[in-house]
């Protein structure tokens, strides 16, 4: 079958493309403003990309159009598909019907940490020899791709609460029917599609309704919003993680060492030690605990899971070091919600110690562009020594929103000027943390190039 994917460079739809190709289908696709890592990943897999959504693409005569949720009514290609009565389906529905059926699905849901936790869980199952299929909203370093299809009965998926498609406004995750599900956390996000937190809680409740009685819900004990969701009805056993010390049951971490390793306790019993871990921060240790619990439900002994955590190497665009110039480290991270920004900075502070952190932020997500979270930004940037905010095409006044931290903040609407400003301030030992959920104009390489040029000029002048 030939399928043509609209929005193929999105992290989810790019994964669909890889799975479909692995299943033996001919795959083509289209998107606009493509950028790595998805665009390069698809090209490496031999999948043809078309720039834009021109109606002439119906002349490819695919057997099926698979529509990503970034595609809205008014798109020329979507309008042509509808007008001509051509067959189409949403990405999540195609996945459910063609790949997930009759598999043991392990889903990872939550406002934050989905990609990281999904990647950790996949790694644990793989190290245990279970050879899972997976679809992650990023590219785990240990696998090099965002999705793969195997003959294993296990499938690990990042279970996103964002809507399914133009024709289906339910959350994506209601299509997946997981047997094991991690509920990482829950707070307000996606202000472009959800009116309030209660609307998101309802979608999570719908997810809980799909989990069988012989399944398992792994839930964050520290999140009151998840407790409200589960209080609306639950028909599945629950294991808690991120519990407080002394709790009667559940998973907790303690005794963090210099290599970000930690001890693990499960149900008040010492379960073992992770000697080293690639990710810093309390939130990432919580992610690891959730993955250990979910993996145990799939049959992985805890001791095996602990050893797997020691070899986990991280995810592209999640605290990924892009380069070091003149002793200055440039780090890329996907953080864009204030909570994610705060946790990411706090985690970096734990490892950076007294080194300066220069936060370079692009408020790019739909929620951030609407200004819904702007009041939370100053506090979320507490652990940064300097802040550089890119304000191009932003619908609200970032300078005013960040006025309470004006002494350490610069706002720029020109990317080259911002790069130059960062380079003026940066010196050896600094950590430059770039945070955006988009390509950010290739700012990481621009920073590295500008810092290298500065070094060359300094050496020449000396």
Mean pLDDT in residue range 259-267: 92
Token pair recorded at residue 205: 């409740």
Q: From CA 392, how far away is CA 217, in angstroms rounded?
A: 42
Q: Where are the alpha helices (DSSP H) in 96-239?
A: 114-127, 197-209, 224-231
Per residue in 350-379, pLDDT (tens digit) is 888 889 999 999 988 777 777 888 888 999
pLDDT at 462 over 60: no
- Cβ atoms within 10 Å of 389's Cβ, excluding its own: 22
**What is the per-residue pLDDT for 39?**
75
**What angle, 0 to 180 degrees and rounded to 10, lies between the N-to-C axes of helices 282-297 and 302-311?**
140
Fold annotation for 320-461: 3.90.190
- How far are the Cα atoms of 230, 419, 420, 421, 436 from residue 451, in angstroms, in the given order? 50, 9, 9, 11, 20
The confidence band for 461, taking pLDDT boundaries of 50, 70 and 90, is: very low
The confidence band for 97, taking pLDDT boundaries of 50, 70 and 90, is: very high
Tell whether pTM > 0.95: no
365-370 contacts: CB < 8 A, separation 24 or more?
Answer: 365/336, 365/337, 365/437, 366/190, 366/191, 366/192, 367/189, 367/190, 367/191, 367/192, 367/337, 368/336, 368/337, 369/393, 369/394, 369/395, 370/191, 370/192, 370/395
> How big is the chain by its Cα radius of gyration, in Å?
22
Residue 97 DSSP class? I
Instruction: Give the lowest-confidence range in 42-46, 110-114, 202-206, 281-285.
Output: 42-46
Mean pLDDT in residue range 101-130: 95
Distance of CA 20 to the CA centre of its chain: 22
Q: Domain spans of the chain?
A: 2-91, 102-311, 320-461
Contact 136, 317 (CB under 8 A): no
Contact 82, 59 (CB under 8 A): no
pLDDT at 274 over 50: yes
Hunting for tokens 């907790």 — which residue is that?
252
Superfamily of domain 2-91: NAD(P)-binding Rossmann-like Domain (3.40.50.720)
- Name residues whose C-beta falls within 8 Å of residue 156's C-beta, 6 or more positions apart in sequence: 105, 106, 108, 118, 121, 122, 125, 132, 133, 134, 135, 136
**What is the per-residue pLDDT for 66?**
98
Contact 62, 89 (CB under 8 A): no
Mean pLDDT in residue range 5-14: 91
- Cα 148–120–154 angle (5° rounding)? 45
Q: Which residue has the higher pLDDT, 316 or 454?
A: 316
Token pair recorded at residue 383: 């652990």
Q: From CA 63, how far away is CA 88, in angstroms rounded?
A: 9
pLDDT at 328 over 80: yes
Per residue in 397-420, pLDDT (tens digit) is 889 999 999 999 999 999 999 999
Which residues are 388's β-sheet partners?
360, 410
User: What average pLDDT does the structure give for the chain?
Assistant: 91
- The winner for highest mean pLDDT among 64-68, 185-189, 392-396 is 64-68
CATH class of 102-311: alpha beta
129-134 contacts: CB < 8 A, separation 24 or more?
Answer: 130/154, 130/298, 130/299, 130/300, 132/106, 132/156, 133/19, 133/99, 133/103
* Distance between first and last Cα of the chain: 64
- Cα 131–132–138 angle (5° rounding)? 120
Starting at the edge strand found earlier in the chain, the sheet holding 386-390 runs 320-325, 328-333, 431-435, 357-361, 386-390, 409-412
- Give the chain's largest Cα–Cα span: 71
Contact 208, 233 (CB under 8 A): yes
**What is the per-residue pLDDT for 137?**
85
Instruction: Give the lowest-confidence range in 48-52, 173-177, 247-251, 401-405.
Output: 247-251
Contact 131, 299 (CB under 8 A): no
Q: From CA 360, how far away is CA 240, in angstroms rounded?
A: 35
Q: From CA 416, how far away is CA 424, in angstroms rounded?
A: 12
pLDDT at 139 over 90: no
Contact 78, 28 (CB under 8 A): no
pLDDT at 273 over 90: yes
Query: DSSP 3-state assignment of 441?
Result: helix
Contact 53, 75 (CB under 8 A): yes
Q: From CA 176, how far away is CA 158, in angstroms rounded?
A: 10
- Cβ atoms within 10 Å of 80's Cβ, excluding its own: 18
The confidence band for 36, taking pLDDT boundaries of 50, 70 and 90, is: low
CB half-sphere exposure, 421, CA atoms < 13 A: 19
pLDDT at 280 over 90: no
**What is the per-residue pLDDT for 402?**
92
Residue whose C-alpha is closest to residue 173's, from 236, 38, 183? 183
Token pair recorded at residue 219: 């839930």
Token pair recorded at residue 4: 């043509």
Which residues are 251's β-sheet partners?
241, 266
Q: From CA 160, how far away is CA 156, in angstroms rounded?
A: 13
């Amino acid at each position: 079958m030939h399928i043509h994917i609209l929005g193929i460079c999105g992290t989810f739809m790019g994964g669909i493309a890889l799975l479909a190709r692995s299943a033996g289908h001919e795959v083509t696709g289209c998107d606009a403003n493509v950028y790595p890592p998805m665009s390069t990943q698809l090209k490496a897999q031999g999948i043809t990309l078309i720039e834009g959504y021109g109606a002439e693409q119906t002349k490819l005569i695919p057997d099926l159009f698979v529509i990503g949720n970034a595609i809205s009514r008014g798109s020329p290609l979507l309008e042509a598909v509808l007008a001509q009565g051509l067959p189409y389906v949403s990405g999540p529905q195609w996945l459910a019907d063609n790949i997930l059926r009759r598999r043991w699905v392990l889903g990872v849901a939550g406002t934050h940490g989905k990609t990281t936790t999904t990647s950790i869980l996949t790694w644990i199952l793989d190290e245990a020899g279970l050879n899972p299929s997976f679809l992650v909203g990023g590219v785990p370093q240990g696998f090099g791709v965002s999705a793969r299809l195997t003959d294993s009965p296990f499938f690990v998926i990042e279970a996103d609460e964002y809507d399914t498609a133009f024709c289906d406004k339910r959350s994506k995750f209601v299509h997946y029917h997981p047997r094991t599900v991690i509920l990482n956390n829950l707070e307000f996000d996606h202000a472009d599609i959800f009116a309030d937190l209660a609307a998101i809680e309802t979608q999570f409740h719908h997810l809980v309704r799909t989990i069988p009685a012989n399944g398992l819900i792994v839930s964050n004990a520290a999140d009151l919003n998840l407790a409200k969701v589960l209080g609306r009805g639950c028909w599945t056993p629950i294991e808690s993680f991120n519990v407080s010390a002394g709790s009667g049951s559940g998973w907790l971490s303690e005794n963090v060492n210099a290599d970000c390793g930690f001890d693990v306790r499960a149900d008040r019993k010492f379960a073992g030690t992770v000697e080293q871990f690639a990710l810093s921060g309390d939130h990432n240790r919580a992610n690891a605990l959730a993955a250990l619990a979910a993996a145990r439900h799939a049959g992985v002994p805890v001791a095996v899971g602990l050893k797997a955590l020691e070899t986990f190497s991280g995810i592209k665009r999640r605290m990924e070091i892009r380069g070091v110039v003149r002793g200055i480290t440039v780090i890329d991270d996907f953080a864009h919600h204030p909570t994610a920004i705060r946790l990411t900075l706090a985690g970096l502070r734990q490892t950076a110690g007294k080194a300066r952190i220069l936060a370079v932020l692009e408020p790019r997500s739909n929620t951030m562009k609407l200004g819904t979270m702007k009041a939370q930004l100053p506090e979320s940037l507490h652990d940064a020594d300097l802040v550089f905010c890119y304000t191009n095409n932003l619908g609200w006044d970032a300078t005013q929103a960040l006025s309470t931290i004006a002494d350490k903040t610069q706002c720029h609407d020109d990317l080259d000027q911002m790069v130059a400003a960062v380079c003026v301030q940066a010196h050896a030992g600094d950590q430059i943390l770039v945070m955006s959920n988009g390509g950010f104009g290739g700012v990481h390489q621009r920073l590295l190039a500008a810092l290298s040029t500065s070094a060359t000029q300094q050496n020449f002048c000396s």
